[in-house]
Chain A
Amino acid sequence: MNPLTQKIAAAIDAHTDTSACVISADFENRHLTLHVATGGAVGLALDSLEYRLLDHPPLTKAELKGWADRLVAKLTYLMEPLVVLELDAEVGQAQLRSQSPSERQSMRTYYEIQVDRNASLRLARVTFDEATRKRSAATCQFTREAIERLANDLATSLD
């Protein structure tokens, strides 16, 4: 298990109540932050997840694309396969989303990962409501195992 994974698992263990909080872990130059909406014994509901490689030189377009492609290949356990939707070399950002959003009643929900050239990413979930025709942030429901696996994959996705 990657040291970053061990650290975030320990941080989640240390957080015993169910209230909203921020849990973070560092290993070497890797920094992982979980914005927790609700905690629990089995899993967590996250508002977002942020990962960053500190002091990393800016990624080139090819590196950015490579990172985005590796994330798509690795993160296959989120129930919705991801796809690199847009890659803007000028701004230095790539946008990944669920290939097909999940539909429930009048709601469409999907993952959105914003990957930045300064070696950082942000994972969140978005809901589109047919009734109000508006998008809003949704929580990502992850089991502890999924979070640990995610931490491990993120830590090894960009060296």
Chain B
Amino acid sequence: MVRKIERDANRFKQIVRGKIKADLRKYITHGEMIGKTGGELVSIPLPQIQIPEFRYGSKNSGGVGQGPGDVGQPIGRSADGEPGQGAGDSPGRHLLEVELTMDELAAILGEGLALPRIEPKGRANIIEEKDKYTGIRQTGPESLRHFKRTYKKALKRQIASNTYNPRDPLVIPVREDKLYRSWNPIALPHSNAVVLYLMDVSGSMTDDQKEIVRIEAFWIDTWLRSQYDGVTTRYIIHDAVAKEVDQHTFYHTRESGGTRISSAYNLANKIIEADHPPADWNIYVLHFSDGDNWGEDNRQCISLLRDQILPKSNLFGYGQVESPYGSGEFFRELEEAFENVPNLALSEIRNKEGIYDSIKEFLGRGR
């Protein structure tokens, strides 16, 4: 039976979910949630929720009173108070913060953006064996003794051997009666995914653009982690040269070199070939740049994508983040080179407001 407090807590959770879903675009755009993640939980400020509560009236300060009076005497009104004296110096009212698990957040994201669940591709399952206590044995440690079955067997034996007395229902199991729980190995399909984040950190990429990438990567990561048992994330930065880095370096590096996108695609391809065979892994390659690629490099990028990366990936996403100088030509080059390729998603992100639609573009394919 569900207790009232549980029912109320569930109702509260529903209200919170609804509120977050309604304001999802704001939460995604502001990126304030990223700084509030702590392990498996994320705390979200919800200033709008008014929790119903009883309030006492102000005692002896106006309103209807009782006391001696003459018939017809008007009830007095309290005098108008003096206006307040500017801003106070006491702390303000805090925002209500609620904690959600990353899975709950992913579910809200999925509902909010109407994202289809991802179908892990073909043989992209690693079989993992887990032990489950489903069997019974006649030997085993006492800690695994199956009491009910042991009792039943002893009872049956005593009835059969006519040693059971209903008036004195004493059942004493002997060694042969004892049954123990045993385990059977169960094969569990275990879907794994690797996400390779590629970012242009050349001189033309500003901090604002990197912030957009950071926010978008957070939400994509949240969704993919909810879809797979194990998600490995790898980070590549590039200007004219690409290198693999950790997450902190990924978001905080600025180089002054030129832009050669093919360097990043080459490195991504090498990493996939070396560590993540496409037969065993669901591969996601997500690249962010301002699209100002140098020289004849576009042609090489297209050939690398067509021959190497796209055939190996569940999804290749390219997000072109607009710089103060507008949007580079790389987006158009890809658009012209790849028409209706199901595992290629292109998105132009003009500003933070564009993150919401960009995430939908990347993840809306259910791949």
Contacts and interface: CB of A to CB of B under 8 A. Distances in A.
Interface of A: 84-91, 93, 95, 97, 100-101, 108, 110, 126, 128, 130, 133-135
B294 interface: yes
B327 A128 contact: yes
Task: Give the size range of B's interface with the partner.
Answer: 20 to 34
A84 B257 CA distance: 10
Contacts of A101: 324-326
Chain A contact residues: over half helix, strand or loop, or mixed?
Answer: strand
21 contacts: A84-B203, A85-B204, A86-B202, A86-B204, A86-B256, A87-B203, A87-B256, A88-B239, A88-B260, A89-B240, A90-B241, A90-B258, A91-B240, A91-B258, A91-B294, A93-B294, A97-B204, A101-B326, A128-B327, A133-B326, A133-B348
A90 B202 CA distance: 14
A85 to B, nearest CB: 5
B362 to A, nearest CB: 19
Given A100-B324, A101-B324, A108-B326, A88 B294 contact: yes
B314 interface: no
B205 to A, nearest CB: 10
B350 to A, nearest CB: 9
B329 A135 contact: yes
Contacts of A110: 325
B204 to A, nearest CB: 5
B82 to A, nearest CB: 50
Interface in B320-348: 324-329, 332, 348
Contacts of A108: 324-326
Interface in B229-252: 239-241
A86 B259 contact: yes
> Which label, helix, strand, loop or mixed, suits the secondary structure of the B interface?
loop
A97 B324 CA distance: 11
B295 interface: yes
Given A100-B324, A101-B324, A108-B324, A88 B257 contact: yes
Contact of A87 (B257, B326, B328): B257
A86 B325 contact: no
B348 A86 contact: no
A87 B258 contact: yes
B341 to A, nearest CB: 21
A89 B257 contact: yes
B324 A93 contact: no
Contacts of B294: 86, 88, 91, 93
Given A95-B204, A126-B325, A133-B326, 20 more contacts: A85-B256, A86-B257, A86-B258, A86-B259, A87-B203, A88-B258, A88-B294, A89-B240, A89-B257, A91-B240, A93-B294, A95-B258, A97-B204, A100-B324, A101-B324, A101-B325, A101-B326, A108-B325, A110-B325, A135-B328
Given A86-B256, A88-B258, A88-B294, A128 B326 contact: yes
A88 B240 CA distance: 7
A93 B295 CA distance: 10
A93 B325 contact: no
Interface in B256-280: 256-260
A128 B325 contact: yes
Given A86-B257, A91-B240, A135 B295 contact: no
Given A91-B294, A95-B258, A86 B239 contact: yes
A84 B326 contact: no
Contacts of A93: 258, 294
A95 B204 CA distance: 10
Interface in B285-299: 294-295
Contacts of B257: 86-89
A133 B320 CA distance: 12
B327 A84 contact: no
Given A84-B256, A95-B258, A90 B325 contact: no
Given A85-B204, A87-B203, A135 B326 contact: yes
A97 B325 contact: yes
Contacts of A133: 326-327, 348
A108 B350 CA distance: 14
A80 to B, nearest CB: 11
A115 B257 CA distance: 14
A102 B202 CA distance: 22
Contact of A90 (B240, B327, B328, B332): B240
